[in-house]
Amino acid sequence: MAVLSGAQLAVELRTELRERRAQLGESLAPLVTDLRSASKRDDVRRAVERFHASYMDQGHSYHYLAVVDSSGRFVLGTRDDGRHGPHALLTASVSFVSPAFGPRPVVLSITVDSFDFSAARTRRWRAWAVHVGVTALLIVALLIIVIRREVTGPIGRLLDGVHKMELGYWDDMPDPGGAWELRWLGWRFRSLGHELSRTVELLVAAQRRAYAMERDTHADTEATDTGLPRVAVSPVHYDSGDAIPWLRAQLERLRGTEAGDATTRSLAQVILDHYATEAERLGQTALRMGLEDAALRVLDPERFLNISGRIEADRPRLEALAQARAAQIHRALAVQGVPIVEMCHRVKHPAGIWKKMHQKHLTFEQVHDLVALRIVVPTETDCYHALGVVHDLNAPIVGRFKDYIVQPKSNGYRGLHTSVRDPAGAVFEVQVRSIAMHRHAEQGSAAYADYKHATRVPVSAGRAAPWKRLLALFGGGPPHGKRERDGSH
């Protein structure tokens, strides 16, 4: 388009130049009439000078007239040397015969300044250049908008949806928008998610029917559960000594310090990385959560305040949800004859939420286990019966069911984890364990805390001292007699 408009402008300017030259030649008609009747050269000179003077009186800066014979030799003119003036000139000529020059024709040429035409031509070329530039910028901007709207934006939304599907959030695939091909891909991914969801629902239904038909009344118990009393399991505080008081002292230290101190930040990082899990290993779950929260408050105070504020604002609803669902499941288990050793619930603490968001790249709303119920039953068979009861009452979320009994974690942890949605749409997590599994998770060498590896929070470059030396600065580390963890779990 720019080339075509430029070519059109060049043609128009050439046409205008020819028209100006023709008009200039026509302006010589009165002078040519006088020269044709002149008998002497002096008469010719006077006529030329009069015409030149009248032209200059009109305000023109340059005007040149010359008479040239048939051989091209200068005869006379307004300037005796016949030199041309400025470069921006416009020239025209007319041939005529006069008695003053004999029978042969001579040529009268006129040269005038064309500054106005040159300026107009320059302005028009500049306007063309500006028009082309602005048009090009608008086209580029429009292309960027269209590409972002129809290509890169939809692709980004599609990739984000695929990533969430990989994490098990099959219901989060959005309509990517954009070109029909991308919309079709989004539709196919949603269809695959629905197909998988339907398949899982059918498998769960088959499992329910199988256990409903084949369940015997706990005759086949786990060998690891033989002789265990059916009572609530309390954690055994092994290897405690002075370690628990020391950990509590570190908790108070973190709670009483400000987040801006670099040394305190380093201590908080060490506690989060190495010693919060030791509190869990000692059966001190509340202490572990307190240490993690206190460390996060020091390391990332803004994030901690944001998450804790949202949790506290929603705590009444979450507690009510947990109690209501626990009571409902408890009644259903009793009706189905599934014995219950222990049932408890908790609202996830801020550091636990932060770790899940950080590790799995989730938003606060996508954390499914803000509320979690833990059910402890006597045997492994009871675990599956309890799971069937939970799924009868609540819809399982696709991709969020984990059977760690069939496939235990690398640290030996076993249990059933499922995220479900109740009839009102609220999401919560349920963990089901047998007595042996619960004791192993809470007290054994494969402590449940081990699989949740500590996630480091970036700290200032000033934290260069080894963590053992840093702990020595803050009280010598855990008391002697408690084994130290080197973080290689």
Same domain, 106 and 235: no
Number of domains in the chain: 2
Q: Are 106 and 236 in a shared domain?
A: no
pLDDT of residue 180: 77
Measure Cα distances from 214 to 209, 245, 416 in Å: 9, 50, 20
pLDDT at 169 (0 to 100): 67
Q: What distance in Å separates the CA atoms of residue 40 and residue 98, rounded to the nearest whole number?
A: 9
Provide the pLDDT for residue 454. Answer: 37
Tell me which residue range forms the domain holding 26: 2-113
Is 92 within 8 Å of 21 (Cβ atoms)? Answer: yes
In the prediction, which pLDDT does 240 show? 52
Single-letter amino acid, residue 136? A
* Ordered mean pLDDT values, 10 residues apiece, the chain (489 residues): 83 87 85 85 87 79 82 77 56 87 87 81 88 90 86 81 72 73 80 72 58 50 39 40 80 78 81 80 79 87 89 90 94 93 90 86 80 93 90 83 84 87 90 92 54 40 40 50 39
Note whether 379 and 234 are same-domain residues. yes
Among 113, 148, 164, the domain boundary falls at 113
Helical spans, DSSP H, in 337-428: 350-360, 380-393
**182 in a domain, yes or no?**
no
Q: How far apart are CA 296 and CA 304, in angstroms?
A: 6
In whole angstroms, what is the distance from residue 198 CA to residue 377 CA? 29
At residue 327, the pLDDT reads 94
Sign of the Cα pseudo-torsion (213, 219, 225, 229, in order):
positive
Q: Are 420 and 398 a contacting pair, CB within 8 Å?
A: no
Q: Could you tell me if residue 51 is inside a domain?
A: yes
What confidence score (pLDDT) does residue 170 get?
64
pTM of the model: 0.50
Asked which of 113, 142, 170 is the last residue of a domain, the reply is: 113
The DSSP bridge partners found for residue 64 are 111
Q: Which residues contact residue 171 at a Cβ distance below 8 angstroms, ignoring those fewer than 6 apart?
A: 193, 397, 398
Residue with tokens 């002149």: 38
286 and 411 in a single domain? The answer is yes
Question: Strands 342-347, 427-434: parallel, antiparallel or unpaired by DSSP?
Answer: unpaired
- At 87, which CATH number? 3.30.1140
Residue 279 domain-assigned (yes or no) = yes
Half-sphere exposure for 368 (CA within 13 Å, toward CB): 26
235 with 108, same domain? no
Identify whether 196 is part of a domain.
Answer: no
Residue 372 and residue 427 in contact, taking contact as beta carbons nearer than 8 Å: no
**What is the reported pLDDT for 487?**
37
Q: What is the pLDDT of residue 260?
A: 66
Residue 171: predicted pLDDT: 64
Per-state percent for the chain, helix, strand, coil, to nearest 5: 55, 10, 30
Tens-digit pLDDT profile for residues 244-275:
888 888 888 888 777 667 777 888 888 888 88
Residue 402: give its domain's CATH number: 3.30.460.10
Same domain, 309 and 452: yes
User: Do the domain assignments include residue 188?
Assistant: no
Residues in CB range of 66: below 8 A, 6 or more apart: 74, 75, 76, 77, 78, 79, 82, 108, 109, 111
Sign of the CA dihedral running 151, 152, 154, 160: positive
Given this model, what pLDDT does residue 478 score? 55
Tell me the per-residue pLDDT of 153-200, one tens digit each, with 9 for 90 and over.
888 878 887 777 777 666 667 777 777 777 888 887 877 777 777 657
**104 assigned to some structural domain:** yes
In-domain check, residue 423 = yes
Please indicate, yes or no, if residue 252 is contained in any of the structural domains. Answer: yes
Distance (Å) of CA 308 to CA 40, 190, 271, 302, 314: 113, 34, 20, 10, 10
